[in-house]
Chains A and B, each alone.
Chain A
C-alpha cells in the first residue's frame, strides 16, 4: 500500500485537518520598521491591471509588489550576514525536503509581558511534558500575538517595538536539538527588542548561521497540538532569494 494512501484517506474523512497558518497579504499588514536611513521592507501593494473592463474585458488581475519578508514569510539562511556562506542558503537552492517536517509548538500565550523572552528553562519544561524536541522539527513559539490588530501588533514605543521572542540561549538550545527551523507569530523571529540582546537579533543570527530556517507572521498556532502535526512551508522559488511570502499549512490528525 502506498505511504500516501492513509494520508489521503485521512484528509478525505477529515481525520487529518489542514490548518492554515497564514495571514492574508494585505496592504495594511505591518512590516518590520528599521531606522529610516536604512532601506525599508516594502509593504504589500496590489495594483489592478484590469477588472473585466476596457483594460481587459474578460478577466481581472493585479500586479503585486512586496519585499521577500512581507506578510507571513519564510527566512532563508542567506537572509542574515551569519548565513551568507551557508551552502544552498537561498530559497531556490534549499532542497524541497527541508520545507516539510514535524512541528513542535511551545505555548507561551499565557505570558503577559510584551518583552517576554523564551528561555532554555521554558524549553526544558516543554520537553518534560512532551518529550525531547526531535531533530528536524519545526519549532513554533505560540504567543497568540497574531490576534493583535493595528498598532498593537508592532507595539511600537519611542525605544522601538515590544513583542516576545527567543533569547540567545533558547536558540542555542534548539540548535543543539538540530531543529529544522523556528517560527513565531510576531513580525520577526526575534523579540521586538532583539537588537539589544547579545548577539543582536539572536534568532536571526544563530539560526541562519547554523543553516536553519525561519518563519514569521504566522497565525492560528492555537489550532496546533504541541506535537504530532506536520508543517508544510515551501517558499516561492526566487533565484537567490533570501526569503519569501508563503502559504504555511499544517496537517493535524485529530486525536
Chain B
C-alpha cells in the first residue's frame, strides 16, 4: 500500500535546486494520438476503421488488414498484468534519478498487449485499470493502476474527455512516486489564484484546501475599491500592471507551485456594436495579462519544476470554450479568450523543457453576474473547482468543465463550420 506523502520540509537554502530532467520526448506522429488522449484523461487506442482491430503500438496501417484508416477510440480500461520488472539501471538521466522504476506487460481487455508504467500498488498477475497519462515530457504514456479483482473493466471512457480516473483504487494511491511524477496533485503544494474578484475564487480556495494545498494565495487588483473577504493570503496583483506582477513575483514567485489564472474581463458586445474599450480591457487582462503574468511568474516556476514534493507543477488557465469559436454576442470577449488560448499554447511550448504543465480549463457560461440573463445550464463555481482540482490530480492539459464546454468541444471537433452556423443562427 502507498505510504501517505509527508509534507515537505522547508527548502534547504544551502542546496542547489534540482534541475528538471525529462523522460524521452520523441514520438512518431501516430503516437501523438496517445498524447492527445492523455491530455484529456482518455484511455484511447488506434482502431482500424475497416476491420475493427485494436492496435498498439501506434502505427500507420492496420496490422490485421493493412488499411491505412486508423482512428483513435476510447477503450475499456481493464487488463491483466502478465509480467513485471523493476528497472534498477537506466542510461537515461530522468529515470536514473527515480530508480528503481517498475514497468510491466499488460494484456488489455481491448486486445493488445502493452508495456506500461506500474503503480506501486499493482501486484503480480493482478487485474489492472489502464489510464493514459502525460509524463513530464508532456507525452502520453500508459499507466496501470490497481483495480479490484472483480473489476471486469467493461466500461469505456466517455468520449469527450475528463475520464477522471476515480473509481476503484487503493488508499493514498495518488501519493505513489509514479503518480506524483505524472500528475500535478495540489496536495502539499502552494497555489496562487490570480483574481480574487472572480466569482469562482471562494470555491477554488475551498476545493484546493480540501485537496491538501499547503497554502492558497489570492491576487487582488485595485485594493482601493475594497475587496471581498477570502480565506486566503491576499496579494496585491493586477494582470494589467507589470509593476505589481514584478513585485509579487519577487516575493511569491519562488513558492508558487501551482498558478491558477482565473482573471478575465467579460462584457457583452459583438464587433460593430461592441465597445472597443471593453474589448481592449478584455485583451489587456486575458491576453497581455497572461503574457505579463508569465514573464513575472514563469521563470521562477520553471526553475522549480523538480524541486521535491512541492515542486512547481502546473500553470492553469481558465478559459471560455468560446476561445475555440466565438459566441457573436460576446465578440470582443471571445477574441480575447482566443488570444489567451493562443498565447497559452505558446507558453506551454516554452515550459516544455522544464516539465511544467499548462492546463486549460474550458468553461461555458458560468454562474456569475455577467451570465445572469442567460438561461441554464451554467457552470457553478463548485463544479468548476471540482473539475479543475481533478484535472490537476490527473495531470491533464485540457479539461472541459460542464456540459456546455463538453458540447462545444465535441461539436468543434466534428465540424467547426457546422458549429459556427449553429452559433450564428441557421441551425434549425
Do the two chains touch directly in the complex (Cβ atoms below 8 Å apart)?
A: yes
List residues of A whose CB falls within 8 A of some B CB: 27-28, 30, 33, 36-37, 39-40, 42-43, 45-48, 150-151, 153-154, 156
A43 touches B225 (CB 8 A): no
- B54 CB to closest chain A CB (Å) equals 53
A27-B243 contact, Cβ under 8 Å, with A39-B275, A39-B277? yes
B238 at the interface (CB under 8 A from A): yes
Instruction: Answer whether A46 and B225 are a contact pair too, CB < 8 Å, given A37-B267, A39-B277.
Output: no
Contact, CB under 8 Å: A47 / B242: yes
Instruction: Offer 28 A-B interface pairs, CB within 8 angstroms, sorted by A.
Output: A27-B238, A27-B241, A27-B243, A27-B244, A28-B223, A28-B236, A30-B222, A33-B225, A36-B267, A36-B369, A37-B267, A39-B275, A39-B278, A40-B281, A42-B277, A43-B222, A43-B240, A45-B241, A46-B242, A46-B243, A150-B224, A151-B223, A151-B225, A151-B226, A153-B224, A154-B224, A154-B225, A156-B226
Q: Are A48 and B242 in contact, with the CB atoms below 8 A?
A: yes
A-B contact count (CB 8 A): 44
Beyond contacts A42-B277, A154-B224: 7 other A-B pairs, Cβ-Cβ < 8 A, are A27-B238, A27-B244, A40-B277, A45-B240, A46-B242, A47-B242, A150-B224
A175 CA / B21 CA spacing, docked (Å): 74
Residues of A close to B281: CB separation below 8 A: 40
**Chain A min CB distance to B226 (Å):** 5
- Residues of B at under 8 Å CB distance from A? 222-227, 236, 238, 240-244, 267, 275, 277-278, 281, 369
* Bound-state Cα–Cα, A28 to B236, Å: 10
Contact partner, A30, options B224, B238, B240, Cβ 8 Å: B224
Q: Do A28 and B242 form a contact, CB below 8 Å, given A39-B275, A39-B277, A39-B278?
A: no
**Which chain A residues border B225 with CB–CB below 8 Å?**
30, 33, 151, 154, 156
A28–B245 alpha-carbon span in the complex (Å): 12
Contacts of A153 in B (CB 8 A): 224
Which residue of chain A is the closest to B281 with respect to CB atoms?
A40
Residues in B whose Cβ lies below 8 Å from that of A30: 222, 224-225
Chain A residues contacting B223 (CB-CB under 8 Å) are 28, 150-151
Smallest distance from the beta carbon of A31 to chain B beta carbons, Å?
9
CA A39 – CA B274 in complex, angstroms? 11
Instruction: Please report the C-alpha to C-alpha distance between residue A188 and residue B241 in the assembled complex, in whole angstroms.
Output: 23
Measured between beta carbons, the chain B residues less than 8 angstroms from A48 are: 242
Cα(A65)–Cα(B223), bound, Å: 20
Residue of B nearest to A44 (CB): B241
Contacts of B244 in A (CB 8 A): 27-28
Query: How far, in angstroms, from A95 to B381 measured CA to CA in the complex?
Result: 55
Nearest neighbor of B224 in chain A, beta-carbon distance: A30
* Contacting residues, chain A, for B277 (C-beta < 8 A): 39-40, 42
Residue from the set B227, B236, B241, B267 with the largest chain A CB neighbour count within 10 Å: B241
A28-B267 contact given A39-B277, A40-B281, A47-B242, CB 8 Å threshold: no
Residues of A near B243 (CB, < 8 A) are 27, 46
